[in-house]
Structure 1
Amino acid sequence: METIEILGLVAATLTTSSFVPQVYKTWKEKSTKDISLTMYLVFFTGTMLWLYYGFVHRSAPIVFANGVTGLLVAFILVLKLKYR
């Protein structure tokens, strides 16, 4: 694996992990009143488009980051709808 790919994976890991505290807090507190549904829907759509782009270009960092981020954002969306 090339150094630039490793850099991409590290960046992807750090960026993606930034969603974990929000997921944990939302799940623990069972409250989503301060979370924008529109923002997360738009973000999820963008994430899925990046995931597709990553597959087309066979870019592991892009696929990894957007695959995991998509799951975390989807979980927030489910909680947002559940705890309305």
Structure 2
Amino acid sequence: MNWAEPVGFAAAFLTTASFVPQAWLTFRTRDVSGISLGMYSAFTLGVALWLLYGLSLRAWPVVVANAITLALALAILVMKLRFGRRPPG
């Protein structure tokens, strides 16, 4: 194993772990007012495409990071769709 794979796994861990606090806070508070639906929709699609890319290359740091990030991003996106509607008036 060369130096690139451990660096990839370290980067994957750090970038994926950065989503955990946002997901946890959103689960706890149900407050999605500061989350952009457009941004999270585009981001989630982008992560899904990165996952497909990683799978096609068998680049495991990319696959692992994006699989976990996709699950977290989807959870936040679903909460935005579910809790983000404001009552009329």
TM-score by shorter chain over 0.5: yes
**4+ residue segments displaced more than 4 Å:** none
Report the count of equivalent residues.
Answer: 84
Residue 72 of structure 2 corresponds to residue 72 of structure 1: yes
**What one-letter code is carried by the residue in structure 1 that aligns with 2:10?**
V
For 1:65 and 1:12, locate their aligned partners in 2 and report how far apart those are by CA, in whole Å: 5
For 1:34 and 1:50, locate their aligned partners in 2 and report how far apart those are by CA, in whole Å: 25
Structure with larger Rg:
2
For 2:82 and 2:27, locate their aligned partners in 1 and report how far apart those are by CA, in whole Å: 11
For 2:74 and 2:7, locate their aligned partners in 1 and report how far apart those are by CA, in whole Å: 26
Query: What are the ranges of 5 or more consecutive residues in structure 2 without an aligned counterpart?
Result: 85-89
Query: What are the ranges of 5 or more consecutive residues in structure 1 without an aligned counterpart?
Result: none
TM-score normalised by structure 2 residue count = 0.90
SS across alignment from 1:70: helix
The aligned residue for residue 40 of structure 1 is 40
TM-score normalised by structure 1 residue count = 0.95
- CA-atom RMSD, angstroms? 0.9
Residue 50 of structure 2 corresponds to residue 57 of structure 1: no
For 2:42 and 2:81, locate their aligned partners in 1 and report how far apart those are by CA, in whole Å: 15
